[in-house]
C-alpha cells in the first residue's frame, strides 16, 4: 500500500505542477539557480534549500489528497458545537465510527481564502 500512496502522490504533484505554468516556471528557475543544471538529481538534503518545492508538494496534497476519507472509532465521548445546528451541544458516544472527509476539509471556504486555487 505504501508504494501506491507514493505513486499517487507523485502523479498528483506532477499533474498540479503541469496545470500551473507559473508554478512550473518558478520551480525550474529555482532548481536551476540551486543546482546549476536541470540534469541533476535532487536529494532529501536539497529540500532544505528548495522551500518553494516543499510548498508546492503541500499545496498539491491539500488540493488532491491521495487519501480522501479516513474513519476512526472514538475511544471516548466527544462533545462539540456547530453553526449548522445553532451551536447546540452534540455528544458523540465512545465507540462511534466517525469519518473525516479530508478532501472537503482541505477545500473549506471557512478555512481557506481561495479553497479551490493553488496559491
pTM: 0.70
Q: Residue 4: left (phi > 0), alpha (psi -120 to 50), or beta?
A: alpha
| Residue 79 scores a pLDDT above 60 | yes
Q: Domains of the chain: which residue ranges?
A: 2-63, 67-119
Alpha-carbon span 47 to 35, nearest angstrom = 12
In tens, the pLDDT along 53-77 reads: 888 888 888 888 888 899 999 999 9
pLDDT above 70 covers what percent of the chain? 93
In tens, the pLDDT along 25-56 reads: 888 888 888 877 656 677 778 878 888 888 88
CA 9 to chain centre: 10
Amino acid at each position: 500500500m505504501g508504494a501506491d500512496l507514493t505513486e499517487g502522490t507523485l502523479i498528483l504533484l506532477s499533474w498540479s505542477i503541469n496545470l500551473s505554468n507559473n508554478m512550473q516556471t518558478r520551480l525550474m528557475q529555482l532548481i536551476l539557480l540551486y543546482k546549476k543544471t536541470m540534469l541533476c538529481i535532487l536529494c532529501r538534503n536539497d529540500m532544505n534549500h528548495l522551500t518553494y518545492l516543499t510548498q508546492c508538494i503541500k499545496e498539491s496534497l491539500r488540493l488532491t489528497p491521495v487519501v480522501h476519507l479516513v474513519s476512526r472509532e472514538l475511544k471516548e465521548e466527544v462533545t462539540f458545537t456547530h453553526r449548522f445546528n445553532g451551536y447546540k451541544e452534540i455528544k458523540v458516544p465512545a465507540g462511534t465510527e466517525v469519518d473525516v472527509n479530508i478532501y472537503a476539509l482541505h477545500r473549506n471556504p471557512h478555512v481557506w481564502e481561495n479553497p479551490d486555487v493553488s496559491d
